[in-house]
Amino acid sequence: MNSILSNLLSLMPIIPPGIVFGACCFFLLKKPSAEAILMTIGSGISLIINILYSFLMPLIMAAQNLTPTEVMKYHTIVGVISFIAGLCFAAGLLILIINTVKRIRSSTINSLKAPIITMSKSQSGLRLCYIFLFTLSILQLACSPRPNIQGKGEDFMQGVWNEDSVAYSHKLSNYTQHHFKFTCDSVYINMVTHSKVNFYEDSCYNNGIWKEYAKGVYRVKGDTLFIGATFTHANYKQKISGCYRIGRYDKNFLISKKSSDSLILESLSDQREIKLTLKEKITCVPKEL
């Protein structure tokens, strides 16, 4: 039962474009026209691309052991083809809409001048086909595959940054030192907290020094750094239980100063300053997620 369900789920990405392609083929058989040809070509290419992404691309990547850079080249080529297919489908749909509007106007004018004539079965079938295609066109445009690839992030952020010390730490009841690794648009955070006050159970207090980890994504807008992450274990796997914080790590920082080897962040929640020093520069090579 589970195998049947998993097989059905694996077919989900190609079902919508398959239905759209079938409807376009039916439309083409019923009424060979420019719009029918364009929509059939566009939906057919889209179906092939969906099959490529869902089944063939993973096999090719595994067989040829492709690097992320090589994968990006494939995605770029397929993306261009997908864009052309989308243009074909959109052009056909636009022509269909224009012709349908003209036909409705013409029939309205004629109905005012002449007695009402019952539609033939073929005309009724074509009208139903139009309605069906209009409905599925939204599905076709929404289901175009997009490569699940890391974003590039910010060039000046790429690297391993460390907070070597915290100002006036000896006077603080608790403070946290940060270690950031920015790679493409992903961020990995190590936090070492020093506390004179026990916030947790004795088994978690660890003589007032403990480590926490988080993994997520970031973006920079203007002079503000937005981090959306989740607390993890030391191996950056999801953490759902244990000592210290669990769940989301969402922080916003003001970028007070930046240079090639230093970065000063100011937390917008508690105004604490984090002075970071670049320890290792990283070149972004987007990877599949």
Res 87 pLDDT > 80? yes
Res 2 pLDDT > 50? no
Q: How far apart, in Å, are the Cα atoms of 184 and each of 30, 230, 282, 285?
A: 50, 17, 9, 7
Please state the rounded mean pLDDT for residues 159-163.
Answer: 96
Q: What percent of the chain has pLDDT over 90?
A: 32
pLDDT in tens, 175-234: 999 999 999 999 999 999 999 888 777 788 888 899 999 999 999 998 999 999 999 999
The length of the chain in residues reads: 289
Helix (H, G, I), strand (E, B) or coil at 176: strand
Do residues 285 and 153 make contact, with C-beta atoms less than 8 angstroms apart? Answer: no
Dihedrals phi, psi of 99, to nearest 5 degrees: -65, -40
Task: Tell me what pLDDT residue 257 has.
Answer: 93
Note if the pTM is more than 0.75. no
Least confident residue range of 76-80, 90-94, 111-115: 111-115
Helix (H, G, I), strand (E, B) or coil at 259: coil
Task: Tell me what pLDDT residue 46 has.
Answer: 83
Do residues 10 and 51 make contact, with C-beta atoms less than 8 angstroms apart? Answer: no
Distance in angstroms (rounded) separating the CA atoms of residues 218 and 59: 31
Most confident option among 24-28, 59-63, 145-149, 155-159:
155-159
Res 117 pLDDT > 50? no
* 231 DSSP β-pair partners: 214
Distance in angstroms (rounded) separating the CA atoms of residues 134 and 35: 13
The fold for domain 155-281 equals Lipocalin (2.40.128)
Under 8 Å CB-to-CB from 115, ≥6 apart: which residues? none
Instruction: Give the pLDDT band of residue 83 (cuts 50, 70, 90).
Output: confident
Higher pLDDT, 95 or 130: 95
Comparing CA positions, the residue from 265, 68, 251 lying closest to residue 157 is 265
Residue ranges covered by each domain of the chain: 2-142, 155-281
**3-state SS of 103-132?**
HHHHHHHHHHHCCCCCCCHHHHHHHHHHHH
Least confident residue range of 146-150, 153-157, 263-267: 146-150
Q: Quote the mean pLDDT of the chain.
A: 79
